[in-house]
A and B are shown apart, each in its own frame.
Chain A
Amino acid sequence: MPSVTKDSTILKIAVEMLNAPDKVPQLIEFDQSQPLSSIIQLLCKAWGLPDPTNYALQFSESNNQNYITEKNRNEIKNGSVLRLEQSPAKTVQDILTKINTGTDSEQTQALMKLSTVSSDLTFALEFINKKGLSLIISNIETGKFKGTALKYALVTFVELMDHGIISWDILENQFINKVVSFVSNQTNTQDPKIIQSCLSILENIVLNSSGKNSHVEKEITIPSLISHLENSDRIIQQNAIALINAIFLKADMTKRKTIAATLCSKQVRNKIYENLITNNVSKETSVTELAHQLYVLQTLTLGLLEPRMCQRADSQEQESQEKIKELRKYAFENDANTNIEVTTRRQTGSLSKDFKKLGFKCEIDPIKDFNEIPPGVLALDCMLYFARNYREDYTKIVLRNSCRADELECPFGKTSVELIKLLCEILLIGEAPSEQGQTYHPLFFTHDHPFEELFCICIVLLNKTWKEMRATTEDFVKVLSVVREQITRALAAAPKSFDKFRQRVKELTYNEITHLWQQERTNREVWESHAKPIVELKEKITPEIIDLIQQQRLGVLVGGTRFKKYLKINRKDKFWFVRLSPNHKILHYGECDEKSTPSLEELSTKLAVADIKCVVVGKECPHMKDLKGKISSPHLAFSLILKAAEVPSLDFVAPDEQIFDYWTDGINALLKEKMTSKSFDNDLETLLSMDIKVRLLDAEGIDIPQNPPQIPPEPEDYDFYYENN
């Protein structure tokens, strides 16, 4: 079929030429099987342009203005508008000439153009091949470019390097020094673009070069970068943080600690908090990148806790021994007491009694409690921080638990170790920052010791939750799982301060958490009731359930019902009774009084089910026309229309909605029609949902897959191991 091949290779497109009013745009058939050069030749011919080799085609979409090459030409779509432009080679040549020999303004013009086209890979390759990059580098290095020209040169450099074709190792210290000098230059007003680019260049050198990072670290100081955080330009702030992160990431442990100390100092912290977090209005698109950089910074800072977390306490080690002693001192030595008492008590052998009160697992030698990693000695550090800084809370917790009935106590030592472990897990301490991460906790920028501070709030929380749950020692795991929920949910709200966090966890009581869990389970159940396998199962068992409802309805009819008679002339109430024969073939009916339940034999009039044509309800009933306005509830009326047209219908008014529903359903069932009443829907739902619940008993707590599982190819053989019995 030639037309198909034609359609797929020949596109109808338009080609225009910018800044050339005399060149009327051409509508051409673009043949994908023809080389680009011959297509360009034809275009040039039509416009009377000499030297077709000097021209190339470009896309003209707002997000894509790249040159069209043999590689990307398949991106052209039917109806595209393309541009005929100067070819990359010619453009490079023109630009290089202007940079080398042009006037200042020509140079700036050329660089401006260069900075935009450099993002096109085709152009960049051509430019780099013609030694353009080296020229840009040396002119930056020697300070030949100034002002606007410098800005475009730096942007160009960033764009060219961004293609990843050239290694960052080509840069010399001289270039780095120059770039650093632009960053450090705080005196005169530089174009923000210059600083943006320079920060980004330095970040890339630190991250991507194989040895120049130490030079950058030496040249640039963290404080000078910090000052850029106060810049009102969002990109500068972001790039400055990114550069700090890069230096942090590449530094060794000692250097890291120094950097962290600078960053955690109140002054710097406040700058970060005020400039980047408080003023971080989420309207801007760059917020995600900034959030990522703050996340990286926080991950790196928290990462400094890792060595402590992974260090076991050694029983020979003096430092940890001292810390345990101090913990004991804060708990049991009130200010009036002197050391003498501690000594005497020690002599009386109450040391292990004290350790028991402190809730250590190992009362003889509590240092063993810090043998597990994580959390190692980090737990001890945090406990001591708590004891020192929140002495009142600390003694309250220790004393309260040590005088409780044994199985109700919440041992401080043991629970603290587990809590620290939990916090390390929640904050992913020790994990390298991920490429996508954006979650940071603003409150961590508000304190010198954020992790320790978090622990102090959470250990109080743990004790409160323990009490709320009226937990015993064996419930520890459950308490911890509730505490985990409390902490993660409170942190997820991104509280801006520790006070806000404290407030939030206070509100998230045990009751609140169980309520939320319940809610989520209900939501999940609702979701599951719409899950595909459940819907399939429902459809499958629905016929059985409908059969049950039908049996029930026919049962109602066989049991019979007393209806009130409505007559045109108002008289004393009269009643009649209708009953279905047990073989479901005949309706028996006759008059009765208010209380009686006549038997089948007593009802003299009969109507064969086979004679019924259909059932009509409400206003459609014949008797409703006669009795208009006399019946208070016309919606409870129904009539059996008979097949023989000359015989009048059998007209009913049900005493209530349920009987109305049961009878109309029953008659429909007899006529093999669908049951349609509200009661039918309710009964179906009640029976079906209980049935499903009972069928799923063994699957309780197991997740139903969102998507149908992939059925594997059939087994290779059917030679079963076991004989089928």
Chain B
Amino acid sequence: MWIPLKTPKLGVAVYNFKGDVKSGLPLEIGETVQILEENGGWFRGFSTKNRSAWGIFPCCVVTIRPCTIKGSGLSAVAELKDDPLVREIACVLREWARLWKKLYVERETYRFSAVAKVMRELLSGRRALLTGTLTQDQTRALRLKLVAKLDWGNR
């Protein structure tokens, strides 16, 4: 029986799922899904990159991540409960990745490599924030540095 979750959950795909079952939702590793209901080893929900396509997928291909819920009922939106800066960097990196590819095609060689360098710095800084092995002082310093990088890119 399909049982609705009291509040939606967020999961991240840790494996690819072809979606080759009835009502299956194909998933790529790294994709984030909002989960609405469950039945045995299966979840039903949608990918956060296309909220209108619903489908089912095995529980074992996703890892549940802590999230915060905005709104209620079916219109509720779950967001990863990461540190705001960590989320901001993810958001910015996705946007930049798009622009960065455009720079490549347009042969803006200098900007292309400059942006790549900053993106790599943001990636590793974000990872350091997430692993939580830094002291408060180091975290504060890193935050300032990352915010400066973000500002650089958004200019």
- Shortest C-beta distance, A89 to chain B (Å), equals 57
> Cβ of B74 and Cβ of A722 under 8 Å apart?
yes
**Chain B interface: which of A259-267, A357-365, A686-694?**
A686-694
- Shortest C-beta distance, A579 to chain B (Å), equals 15
Residue of B nearest to A534 (CB): B29
Q: Indicate if A527 sits at the interface (CB-CB under 8 A).
A: no
**Complex CA–CA separation, A521 to B104 (angstroms):** 29
> Cβ of A722 and Cβ of B4 under 8 Å apart?
yes
**Complex CA–CA separation, A718 to B135 (angstroms):** 50
Q: Indicate if B123 sits at the interface (CB-CB under 8 A).
A: yes
Query: Could you say which residues of chain B place their CB within 8 Å of the CB of A551?
Result: 105
- Shortest C-beta distance, A698 to chain B (Å), equals 5
Q: Interface digits, B86-110 against A, CB 8 Å rule (1 contact, 0 not)? A: 0000100110010011001111000
Q: In the complex where A696-B29, A697-B94, A714-B22 touch, is A481 in contact with B104 (Cβ < 8 A)?
A: no
Query: Could you say which residues of chain B place their CB within 8 Å of the CB of A701?
Result: 127, 130-131
> Cβ of A720 and Cβ of B97 under 8 Å apart?
no
Q: Which of B45-101 contact A (CB under 8 A)?
A: 52, 54, 56, 58-61, 63, 65, 74, 80, 90, 93-94, 97, 100-101
Q: In the complex where A555-B106, A686-B116, A702-B14 touch, is A478 in contact with B133 (Cβ < 8 A)?
A: yes
Q: Indicate if A339 sits at the interface (CB-CB under 8 A).
A: no
> Cβ of B131 and Cβ of A704 under 8 Å apart?
no
Query: Could you say which residues of chain A place their CB within 8 Å of the CB of B119?
Result: 690
Q: Indicate if A556 sits at the interface (CB-CB under 8 A).
A: yes
Q: Which of A691-716 contact B (CB under 8 A)?
A: 691-705, 708-716
Count chain A residues whose beta carbon lies closer than 8 angstroms to a beta carbon of B. Answer: 60
Residue of B nearest to A547 (CB): B105
> Cβ of B37 and Cβ of A720 under 8 Å apart?
yes
Q: Indicate if A146 sits at the interface (CB-CB under 8 A).
A: no
Overall SS of chain B's interface:
mixed
**Complex CA–CA separation, A710 to B131 (angstroms):** 29
Q: Indicate if A540 sits at the interface (CB-CB under 8 A).
A: yes
Query: Could you say which residues of chain A place their CB within 8 Å of the CB of B22?
Result: 714, 718
- Shortest C-beta distance, A686 to chain B (Å), equals 7
Query: Could you say which residues of chain B place their CB within 8 Å of the CB of A534?
Result: 29
Partner of A478, one of B59, B63, B132: B132
**Complex CA–CA separation, A710 to B97 (angstroms):** 33
Count chain B residues whose beta carbon lies closer than 8 angstroms to a beta carbon of A. Answer: 59
- Shortest C-beta distance, A688 to chain B (Å), equals 11
> Cβ of B105 and Cβ of A548 under 8 Å apart?
yes
Residue of A nearest to B93 (CB): A694
Q: Which of B3-35 contact A (CB under 8 A)?
A: 3-4, 12-17, 21-23, 28-32
Q: Indicate if B1 sits at the interface (CB-CB under 8 A).
A: yes
Partner of B135, one of A470, A690, A698: A470
Q: Indicate if A717 sits at the interface (CB-CB under 8 A).
A: yes
> Cβ of A695 and Cβ of B30 under 8 Å apart?
yes
Query: Could you say which residues of chain A place their CB within 8 Å of the CB of B30?
Result: 537, 692, 695-699
> Cβ of B105 and Cβ of A552 under 8 Å apart?
yes
Q: Indicate if A469 sits at the interface (CB-CB under 8 A).
A: yes
> Cβ of A712 and Cβ of B42 under 8 Å apart?
yes
Partner of A533, one of B12, B29, B104: B29
Partner of B28, one of A537, A687, A714, A718: A537
> Cβ of B135 and Cβ of A708 under 8 Å apart?
no
> Cβ of B39 and Cβ of A717 under 8 Å apart?
yes
Q: In the complex where A555-B106, A696-B29, A718-B23 touch, is A517 in contact with B37 (Cβ < 8 A)?
A: no
Q: Indicate if B146 sits at the interface (CB-CB under 8 A).
A: no
Q: Interface digits, B121-139 against A, CB 8 Å rule (1 contact, 0 not)? A: 0010011001111111100
- Shortest C-beta distance, B32 to chain A (Å), equals 5
> Cβ of B36 and Cβ of A709 under 8 Å apart?
no
> Cβ of B116 and Cβ of A472 under 8 Å apart?
no
> Cβ of B80 and Cβ of A475 under 8 Å apart?
no
Partner of A687, one of B29, B93, B101: B101
Q: Indicate if A618 sits at the interface (CB-CB under 8 A).
A: no
Q: Indicate if A724 sits at the interface (CB-CB under 8 A).
A: yes
Query: Could you say which residues of chain B place their CB within 8 Å of the CB of A714?
Result: 21-22, 42
**Complex CA–CA separation, A719 to B39 (angstroms):** 10
> Cβ of A720 and Cβ of B44 under 8 Å apart?
yes
**Complex CA–CA separation, A687 to B1 (angstroms):** 44
Q: In the complex where A697-B90, A722-B36 touch, is A709 in contact with B101 (Cβ < 8 A)?
A: no
Residue of A nearest to B10 (CB): A698
> Cβ of A712 and Cβ of B2 under 8 Å apart?
no
Q: Indicate if A499 sits at the interface (CB-CB under 8 A).
A: no
Query: Could you say which residues of chain B place their CB within 8 Å of the CB of A548?
Result: 101, 104-105
- Shortest C-beta distance, A685 to chain B (Å), equals 12
Query: Could you say which residues of chain A place their CB within 8 Å of the CB of B56?
Result: 715
Query: Could you say which residues of chain B place their CB within 8 Å of the CB of A719?
Result: 1-2
- Shortest C-beta distance, A605 to chain B (Å), equals 25
Query: Could you say which residues of chain B place their CB within 8 Å of the CB of A517?
Result: 131, 133
Query: Could you say which residues of chain B place their CB within 8 Å of the CB of A708?
Result: 15
Residue of B nearest to A694 (CB): B97
Q: Indicate if A514 sits at the interface (CB-CB under 8 A).
A: yes
> Cβ of A702 and Cβ of B116 under 8 Å apart?
no
Residue of B nearest to A485 (CB): B133
> Cβ of B94 and Cβ of A559 under 8 Å apart?
no
Residue of A nearest to B11 (CB): A698
**Complex CA–CA separation, A533 to B31 (angstroms):** 12
Query: Could you say which residues of chain A place their CB within 8 Å of the CB of B37?
Result: 720-722
> Cβ of B12 and Cβ of A475 under 8 Å apart?
no
Partner of A712, one of B58, B93, B132, B136: B58
Q: Indicate if A474 sits at the interface (CB-CB under 8 A).
A: yes
- Shortest C-beta distance, A690 to chain B (Å), equals 6
Which residues on A are within 8 Å of B, measured CB to CB? 469-472, 474-475, 478-479, 481-482, 514, 517, 521, 533-534, 536-537, 540, 548, 551-552, 555-556, 559, 683, 686-687, 690-705, 708-722, 724-725
4 tightest A-B contacts by CB?
A: A712-B41, A709-B60, A696-B30, A533-B29
10 further A-B pairs in the complex, CB-CB below 8 A; given A533-B14, A537-B30 = A470-B137, A478-B133, A552-B104, A696-B30, A701-B127, A702-B65, A711-B60, A716-B1, A718-B22, A725-B54
Q: Can you list 20 A-B pairs with a CB-CB distance of less than 8 A?
A: A471-B135, A471-B136, A472-B137, A517-B131, A521-B127, A537-B28, A548-B101, A551-B105, A555-B106, A555-B107, A698-B65, A699-B63, A701-B127, A703-B14, A705-B14, A705-B15, A708-B15, A709-B15, A721-B3, A721-B36
